[in-house]
C-alpha cells in the first residue's frame, strides 16, 4: 500500500530521475484548495555547471535561469525579462525510513 502524503501543495512529486540527469518532475494537483495550477507540469533540473545551464537556456531548453553578476553583464544589451526574486523556505521530510 502506498503511503498517503499530507500537505503536498499545488503540485505533486511524480518522479525523480537520477541516471541520465538529476531532475524532479512535478504535476499540477487537481484537488488543490485554491484550484488547479495554471502550469500543468514543472521539471526542475539540478545542474551545477553554470556554463551548461546557460547553454541550455540559450537553446530554449529552460524557461527560467538564475544568472550570476558576470552573466548579467554579458547579456546587458540583449532583451531579457527580469523579475525580483522573493525568498522561499523549504522543509523536506524523508518518509522512506523511520527516525529523525
**Domain boundaries, given as residue ranges, for the chain:** 8-45, 48-76
Q: Are 78 and 57 in contact (CB under 8 A)?
A: no
**Pairing mode, strands 23-28 and 11-17:** antiparallel
Question: How would you list the strands of the sheet with 41-45, edge to edge?
Answer: 11-17, 23-28, 41-45
Q: What is the pLDDT of residues 27-47, one digit of tens each?
A: 999 888 889 999 899 888 888
Contacts of 21 (CB under 8 A, 6+ apart): 45, 47
Residue at grid coordinates 523579475: 83
End-to-end Cα distance, the chain:
23
Q: What is the pLDDT of residues 62-98, one digit of tens each?
A: 888 877 777 777 776 776 666 676 767 666 666 776 6
Confidence of residue 54 (pLDDT cuts 50, 70, 90): confident
Amino acid at each position: 500500500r502506498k503511503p498517503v502524503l499530507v500537505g503536498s501543495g499545488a503540485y505533486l512529486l511524480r518522479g525523480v530521475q537520477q541516471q541520465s540527469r538529476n531532475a524532479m518532475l512535478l504535476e499540477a494537483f487537481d484537488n488543490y484548495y485554491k484550484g488547479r495550477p495554471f502550469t500543468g507540469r514543472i521539471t526542475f533540473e539540478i545542474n551545477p555547471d553554470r556554463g551548461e545551464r546557460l547553454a541550455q537556456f540559450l537553446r530554449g531548453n529552460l524557461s527560467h535561469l538564475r544568472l550570476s553578476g558576470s552573466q548579467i553583464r554579458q547579456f546587458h544589451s540583449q532583451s531579457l525579462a527580469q523579475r525580483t526574486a522573493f525568498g522561499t523556505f523549504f522543509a523536506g521530510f524523508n518518509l522512506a525510513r523511520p527516525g529523525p
